[in-house]
Amino acid sequence: MSIHNLVAHYLKEKNLHHTLRKFEEEVGVPISSDVDDLPTKESLEEIVNDRSNFKQLTDGVSDKLHIDEISDDELREISDKQLVPWSTPYPQNSESAIGNQIINGLVISSEIFCDDMLLLGSADNKFYMIDLKTKKIVKEETNLIGRVVIKKIVSIENSNKVILVGMDGNIWIFEIQNDEISPITNLKTHQKLISDVKYISVQERNYIVSMGWDFMIKVTEFTKNQLVPVAQYKLPIQGSCIDVTNYQDKLVIVIGKNDYTFLEVYTLEEAEIVPVYKISLNDAEFLSSIFSPRCIKIFNHQYPLIAVGTSHEPYMRLIVVSLKEFPKITPSKNMTTKRNQILKNLSTMSPQDKYSTAMIEWRQDGSGVWVIGEDGVIRGVDLVSHHVIAELEAHQGRIKSYVSGNQHAREVIVTCGTDRKVRVWNC
């Protein structure tokens, strides 16, 4: 019925109510003309205009388009100025992060805290603090947040506090001091599993942005040692990935969804999450969802760059777009769709299937992207040469958790695999 919905929506928008009634009589059933019932939430007029614009772009061009070809002058300038070649040195030497010690549980969450401390959460409800200098476990706690697995650990910048996210929908704030960890506050944020959490500071306000299996996006502020709900937004389609950034002193939220070839951009205005616009990841396919974004990571630059790990099989693709349109668009419930936004579209040679969990990360200086592979290999992708520059054989089996950061101004990566090993990669 999606074609009928498109026609009905068009007739209603043009106030052709008599024609709409006749159309419903011919079809024999009432037809919804609500925008929420439209495929990809685009109107018939938008689809026709998109197709017309795309045809104009491709007229006179060879049928075989290069995957990295950019027709927009502004995009080409962003690509030339903001995408830089792979830099050296880079992490390629590894050692055990815990020496000869053993962690029996499968590590599913990890974070580097204050340069020299590694925090881990395992599937057997344990929490570990590891000194990266001595490679020793300095603290081990069971049921730190109750009989709940710690799904995510996030540091709060420029502080001794960390966010622990439980699989029960709770968010906790803990304080770490002298190798001891103590709770400050917690809040039941989601009714179901929290799929991801991000921390961001905007205009000296500390925000925690969370996405859950309850289809909700929630913004919570950590202030005066309390977690205070700020705003929430219900998604019509289950979110698959999320990232946030501070752009022009605004909280910007970027969301990918299952079976949906767009990124959706939101912002926070007056304690309300408001839609801004959509970024197409699939300019050549207008209604077919042949892939979806599985992981997104934002690198802050003049125009923030968004790296997208896709659901393509048998190898993940890496798509890079930017937020260059964000300042130009007035937030609106009916999101504008922006096409021709792709800076890069590359194969990562990282194998995956429909059950895989995509993991990617920008290098600390933005000179490429790390792809954390299901085959236990970390691949470094150069966005300028389009080559896989580095292949680090990290684990025998899948990598379940990773974290990258700077340790005393040197790039470092920590990986945790199904082989129960925790490895730290240094330059």
For the entire predicted model, the pTM comes to 0.83
How does residue 14 score in pLDDT terms, banded at 50, 70 and 90? confident
pLDDT of 71 > 70? The answer is no
Q: Please, how many CA atoms are within 13 Å of residue 139, restricted to the half-sphere of its CB? A: 17
Domain boundaries in the chain? 2-58
* Start-to-end Cα distance in the chain: 56
Q: What is the pLDDT of residues 103-160, one digit of tens each?
A: 999 999 999 998 899 999 999 999 999 999 999 999 999 999 999 999 999 999 999 9
Closest CA to 350 of 321, 385, 309, 382: 309
Residue 92 and residue 383: Cα distance in Å, rounded? 19
Share of the chain above pLDDT 70, in %: 92
Run of H or E residues at 75 = helix 73-82
Q: What is the pLDDT of residues 267-320, one digit of tens each?
A: 999 999 999 999 999 876 544 557 999 999 999 989 999 999 999 999 999 999
Dihedral sign, Cα of residue 277, residue 278, residue 283, residue 285 = negative
Q: How far is CA 315 from the centre of its chain?
A: 18
